[in-house]
Amino acid sequence: MTPSSFPVVRLKPKANARAVRHGAPWVFDNELVTDRRTKALQPGSIAVLEDAERNALALVAVNPNSRIFARVLDRDMTARIDKAWLADRLTRALEMRARLYDAPFYRLIHAEADGLPGVVIDRFGDTAVIQPNAAWAELLLDELADALVDVTGVANVLKNASGRARTLEGLDEDSAVLRGAAPDAPVPVPMNGATYMADLTGGQKTGLFFDQRPNHAFAARLANGARVLDVFSHVGGFALACLAGGAAHALSVDGSEPALELARAGAQAGGMADRFETRRGDAFDMLTALGDEGAQFDVVICDPPAFAPSKQALEAGLRAYERIARLAAPLVAPGGYLGLCSCSHAADLSKFRTACTRGIGRAGRAGQIIHTGFAGPDHPLMPQLAESGYLKALFYRL
């Protein structure tokens, strides 16, 4: 299709066209002139975005069912959004990951930051898992899967349809095998000297969280000879990295028995099983129980799910982060280390740091921040989109 054949969506006179010109990737429904015609557009279809003076700004993917009405795809008005276009974005993303990592285990596409808005692709060797969290990607899923195979050479492509983002877009929850076959067993993933077991079909999100890789590595530097507690451990995240770094013993706490089973399998695969222990239960209850036992650890790390997934949940989320810090701090031996993490984009670094420091103080402890960590470079941050820099990790010496 030529640009003239695309439907047009237009910004309201008071909308900030300059933000789009300067790289903003989203336009919300309240920023657009919406009428019966625009509301009838097929979710995922391509349109031309114009400013109030009818100047073309970008090609966008629209979804009248979403608060994010338009997602910027390309500022070249002659671009064809097809398999070749997708392959170009994938090639650009792959080139950077190939420079950064010596094995094909990483986030290949980090949505807007890699030029594919709403799309997440994680790579696990010869298998890739796509989360198409925007309607346009759902419409072009076949082309995306073909381009992914052509560019990366992966044999298997899976679709993961779980998550809040797809619900907000009005999309289904039907996961599928798009190309090849689903692995019939957890996939071993080497990171930071440890082996993680990723369940690509039944695990959380795409099966493993690559974003914490540099923070795992930092924690491992603190762990030689240490007793380590990893709370909200999932498949052994910080615990296995610390054991690979020479920890004397690590205890993983999580509410999911399947996740802990994968953690134990990872410890076994890495020859660490004799130094590894797990406990299943609610993290707050387990922290309280360990405190009542008088347990002490040299390194304690808490990596909870997003307590503040939206602005509406911010205050409750900050109270939860403060409570985690208050319960975890007494478990840290004098001179030991406390790592606290947040994947809530609504809680910025300053607010998160304030909540954590307050919680440590309420526990009667004091500490110095020795490191502030973020997601790895396979999760690039788009400067115009604060949400792409969601992960924060604070390391205190108490």
Tens-digit pLDDT profile for the chain (398 aa)?
445 689 999 999 988 899 999 999 999 999 999 889 999 999 999 999 999 999 999 999 999 999 999 999 999 999 999 999 999 999 999 999 999 999 999 999 999 999 999 999 999 999 999 999 999 999 999 999 999 999 999 999 999 998 888 888 889 899 999 999 999 999 999 999 999 999 999 877 778 999 999 999 999 999 999 999 999 999 999 999 999 999 999 999 999 999 999 999 999 999 999 999 999 999 999 999 999 999 999 999 999 999 988 889 999 999 999 999 999 999 999 999 999 999 998 899 999 999 999 999 999 999 999 999 999 999 999 998 887 789 999 999 99
How many other C-beta atoms lie within 10 A of the C-beta of residue 139?
Answer: 18
User: Is there a contact between 181 and 244 (Cβ–Cβ < 8 Å)?
Assistant: no
- State the CATH number of the domain containing residue 30: 2.30.130.10
By annotation, the residues acting in catalysis are: 343
Helix (H) / strand (E) containing 217? helix 213-222
Angstrom distance (rounded) from CA 326 to CA 284:
10
- Vertex 105: Cα angle to 104 and 111 (nearest 5): 105
Angstrom distance (rounded) from CA 28 to CA 304:
30
pLDDT at 301: 98
Range of the domain at 272: 187-397
Domain closes at, from 27, 43, 74: 74
Specify the long-range contacts of residues 314-318, CB closer than 8 Å, at least 24 apart: 314/346, 314/347, 314/351, 317/344, 317/346, 317/347, 318/347, 318/351, 318/352, 318/354, 318/355
Domain closes at, from 129, 146, 179: 179
Domain total in the chain = 3
- State the CATH number of the domain containing residue 106: 3.30.750.80
Instruction: Give this prediction's pTM.
Output: 0.94
Domain closes at, from 32, 49, 74: 74
**Is the same domain home to 288 and 357?**
yes
**Is the same domain home to 284 and 372?**
yes
